[in-house]
């Protein structure tokens, strides 16, 4: 529960806890119709225990559920109860699990799709849910990018996977040097070396499935991540 507690404290301090929503950008985002309230990052029960810390950063927080269902504890309980057999294979969460499995199975071959969820973390570039459905506004992304460094400090990922343009833009703004080519690279992010994989969002099927195919269902990048992780024993 250490990550959960630290995350809750961070959100509370910044006014981003769903049950205590006092974010300084609340009024500006309300004008852009993205003030349905913040949703916490998901942090799996076994995150960081014996495996690389893997963090996904996606787009907006989706449906505006009741406040009590968007706390760090509630988000964990909800997602760890999901039956993978009921997921639609071409949708975001299934493809997230598939990529998480491809990466972490390099370190534990016993993992499978049904058991991968507790081993990674996932957050959003826009913390708030759009008030009336649809997508978050550019204003919300611009305002929320300032919160990514704090989440990274708390979760301290070894590997960061961005899903979609706004997540990529938010992370690239924090890099200590630009990335030249490709979607995968070792980077200096928030004070330490990490591996960054910049993927298209599964919703953008053309780009996402091209990346997936070119990497042999992510195996190429997973192998690169394994090599990278083995070079940072003092930072694990």
Which ranges in the chain belong to alpha helices (H)? 2-14, 26-31, 72-80, 92-104, 138-144, 148-155, 165-172, 205-214, 219-229
Q: How far apart are CA 67 and CA 47, in angstroms?
A: 24
**How many Cβ atoms sit within 10 Å of the Cβ of residue 110?**
6
Dist. CA 5–CA 13, nearest whole Å: 12
- The number of helix segments (H) and strand segments (E) in the chain equals 9, 8
pTM of the model as a whole:
0.96
Per residue of the chain (236 residues), what is the pLDDT tens digit?
Answer: 589 999 999 999 999 999 999 999 988 888 888 878 899 999 999 999 999 999 999 998 887 788 999 999 999 999 999 999 999 999 999 999 999 999 999 999 999 999 999 999 999 999 987 777 678 889 989 999 999 999 999 999 999 999 999 999 999 999 988 887 899 999 999 999 999 999 999 999 999 999 999 999 999 999 999 999 999 865 55
């Amino acid at each position: 529960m250490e990550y959960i507690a630290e995350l809750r404290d961070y959100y509370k301090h910044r006014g981003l806890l769903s049950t205590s929503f006092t974010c300084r950008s609340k009024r500006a985002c309300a004008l852009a119709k993205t003030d349905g309230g913040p949703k916490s990052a998901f942090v799996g029960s076994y995150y960081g225990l014996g495996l690389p810390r893997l963090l996904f950063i996606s787009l907006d927080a989706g449906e505006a559920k009741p406040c009590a269902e968007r706390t760090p504890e509630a988000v964990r309980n909800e997602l760890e109860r999901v039956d993978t057999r009921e997921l639609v294979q071409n949708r975001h969460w299934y493809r997230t699990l598939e990529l998480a499995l491809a990466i972490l199975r390099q370190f534990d071959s016993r993992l499978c799709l049904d058991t991968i969820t507790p081993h990674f973390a996932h957050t959003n570039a826009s913390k708030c849910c759009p008030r009336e459905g649809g997508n978050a506004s550019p204003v919300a992304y611009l305002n929320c990018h300032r919160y990514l460094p704090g989440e990274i400090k708390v979760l301290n990922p070894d590997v960061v996977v961005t899903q979609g343009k706004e997540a990529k833009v938010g992370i690239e703004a924090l890099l200590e040097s630009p990335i030249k080519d490709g979607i995968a690279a070792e980077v200096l992010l928030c004070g330490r070396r990490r591996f960054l994989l910049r993927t298209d969002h599964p919703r953008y099927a053309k780009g996402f499935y091209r990346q997936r195919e070119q990497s042999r269902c992510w195996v190429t990048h997973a192998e690169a991540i394994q090599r990278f992780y083995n070079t940072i024993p003092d930072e694990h």
